[in-house]
């Protein structure tokens, strides 16, 4: 583990006891205490580069105040433009920010764009009320008022997920501050239930990264190995990559659970990133609050089982970095300048790559996903429905195997980063996933694969095991 990884781990671990301290605190202490801790962590890890986050916050707040009706698009343009400046600092002869500054900036970009969207929704709802002449009462997920500058700063610097996620909306943050009877919300048992696999994942990460170091792929000697060895190597590299993020995101979720952050009644049917989808009245007494069943789906960032054992490439995306996937679907995919599912996905993946950084490996990897989505959709539509039940089961196993190899392949671009290293490795295994995807797309088209809307009507396999086993 690098020094940066040790720092991330320490930040994640100390957020757990801090969460228990803040859980039962009042709204004021939660707001300003959590912001003070987050700002302190930012100053400690980023130093003077903290100025970048402050400039981004002030610019977004100014746009919200000036143009509340269209602040979402303006905030998206502002924060993404600042990301370009932020990453070009070394080219401009300015001090290069620390990796921690980059992490803070990434999460802050998501939060500020979401905040602007929530303010815009509030403003539009208020205009509709004025036009109709009557008030409808509180709407699900709507803010009570526009946050002030200090409230925006407290949300932006809240220590929860400040470097690693999960992403959360301002509405989720506000619900945590105003949580009725927080002592009745369970924390310890859900935390232990969530945390138990993390040590195992950590050991598997250390073992796999030691036995199969990524640096070996950058050495000339690696390409003297036989083709099967080169082809196999991407499997443990992606395995180590997954284990590393499983540990980080589980620890980040545990920090939220300790604070009761993102806890909602099960009846609210909360979604990762988005929060409740059904209105639930707040409990009127501690006894009623204690009688409710809660979950932490709002801040759930990883479904380890779903990531490893879902069948389709499309579903693999949904189970990985789930709160960010919700953000991408809500603010990028829905407003994409195309109607086709594949083209919308390509647009979303392009902006996702840009959000991650400017390294060519990000773009090579993310822009391979739409090709895989197109191939998988056409083949499913053309062939799977024609098979017997046994044939469909065999198809799903083959599909799962190819899905995992596709993610192995794309992971290499994500971790190698440079154009030369990524293309050198892919060329050494003859661009096998690109070739298979193009061949599959051509075969599906030749056999008359349907449109995305038609494919949605066909039953699909979500995973290779019963849902009950998945939940366990």
What is residue 454's predicted lDDT score, i.e. its pLDDT?
Answer: 44
pLDDT value for 472:
38
Identify whether the C-beta of residue 105 lies closer than 8 Å to the C-beta of residue 81: no
Cα gap 89→384, rounded to integer Å: 50
Q: With beta carbons less than 8 A apart as the criterion, state whether 414 and 362 touch.
A: yes
From CA 342, how far away is CA 452, in angstroms rounded?
A: 8
Q: Report the distance separating Cα 206 and Cα 192, nearest Å.
A: 22
Of all helices (H) and strands (E), which one includes residue 349? helix 341-356
Q: What is the pLDDT of residue 268?
A: 94
Q: Record the pTM.
A: 0.92
Enumerate residues 6+ apart whose C-beta is below 8 A from 68. Answer: 119, 120, 123, 146
pLDDT in tens, 342-397: 999 999 999 999 999 999 999 999 999 999 999 999 999 899 888 899 999 999 99
Task: Please list the ranges in the chain whose pLDDT falls under 70.
Answer: 133-138, 449-472
Q: What is the pLDDT of residue 458?
A: 46
Predicted pLDDT of residue 134: 61
Alpha helices in 212-292 (DSSP H): 227-259, 286-291
Token reading at 188: 């310890």
- Beta strand ranges found along 88-242 (DSSP E): none
CA of residue 425 relative to chain centroid, distance? 27
C-beta of residue 337 within 8 angstroms of C-beta of residue 347? yes
């Amino acid at each position: 583990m690098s020094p940066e990884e040790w720092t991330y781990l320490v930040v994640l671990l100390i957020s757990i006891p801090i969460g228990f301290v803040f859980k039962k605190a009042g709204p004021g202490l939660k707001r300003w205490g959590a912001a003070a801790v987050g700002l302190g962590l930012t100053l400690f890890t980023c130093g003077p580069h903290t100025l970048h986050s402050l400039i981004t916050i002030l610019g977004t707040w100014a746009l919200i105040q000036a143009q509340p009706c269209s602040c979402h698009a303006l905030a998206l343009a502002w924060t993404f433009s600042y990301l370009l400046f932020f990453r070009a600092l070394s080219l401009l002869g300015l001090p290069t920010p620390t990796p921690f500054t980059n992490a803070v900036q990434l999460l802050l970009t998501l939060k500020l764009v979401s905040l602007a969207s929530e303010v815009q929704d509030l403003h539009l709802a208020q205009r509709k009320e004025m036009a109709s002449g009557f008030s409808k009462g509180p709407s699900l997920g709507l803010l009570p008022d526009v946050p002030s500058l200090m409230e925006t700063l407290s949300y932006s610097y809240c220590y929860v997920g400040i470097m690693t996620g999960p992403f959360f909306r301002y509405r989720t943050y506000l619900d945590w501050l105003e949580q009725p009877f927080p002592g009745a919300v369970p924390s310890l048992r859900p935390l232990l239930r969530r945390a138990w696999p993390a040590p195992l994942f950590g050991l598997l990460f250390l073992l796999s990264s030691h036995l199969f170091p990524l640096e070996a792929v950058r050495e000339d000697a690696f390409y003297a190995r036989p083709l099967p060895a080169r082809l196999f190597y991407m499997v443990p590299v992606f395995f180590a990559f997954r284990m590393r993020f499983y540990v980080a995101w589980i620890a980040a979720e545990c920090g939220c659970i300790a604070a009761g952050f993102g806890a909602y009644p099960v009846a609210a049917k909360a979604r990762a990133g988005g929060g409740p989808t059904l209105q639930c009245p707040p409990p009127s007494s501690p006894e009623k609050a204690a009688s409710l069943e809660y979950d932490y789906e709002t801040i759930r960032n990883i479904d380890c089982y779903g990531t490893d054992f879902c069948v389709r490439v499309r579903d693999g995306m949904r189970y990985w970095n789930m709160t960010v996937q919700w953000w991408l679907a809500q603010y990028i995919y829905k407003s994409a300048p195309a109607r086709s599912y594949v083209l919308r996905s390509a647009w979303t993946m392009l902006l996702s790559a840009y959000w991650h950084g400017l390294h060519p490996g990000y773009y090579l990897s993310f822009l391979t996903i739409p090709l895989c989505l197109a191939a998988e959709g056409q083949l499913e539509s053309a062939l799977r429905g024609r098979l017997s039940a046994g044939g469909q089961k065999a198809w799903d196993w083959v599909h799962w195997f190819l899905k995992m190899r596709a993610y192995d392949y794309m992971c290499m671009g994500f971790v190698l980063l440079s154009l030369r290293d990524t293309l050198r490795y892919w060329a050494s295994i003859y661009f096998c996933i690109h070739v298979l995807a193009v061949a599959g797309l051509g075969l599906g088209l030749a056999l008359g694969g349907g449109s995305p809307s038609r494919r949605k009507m066909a039953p699909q396999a979500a995973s290779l095991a019963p849902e009950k086993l998945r939940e366990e």
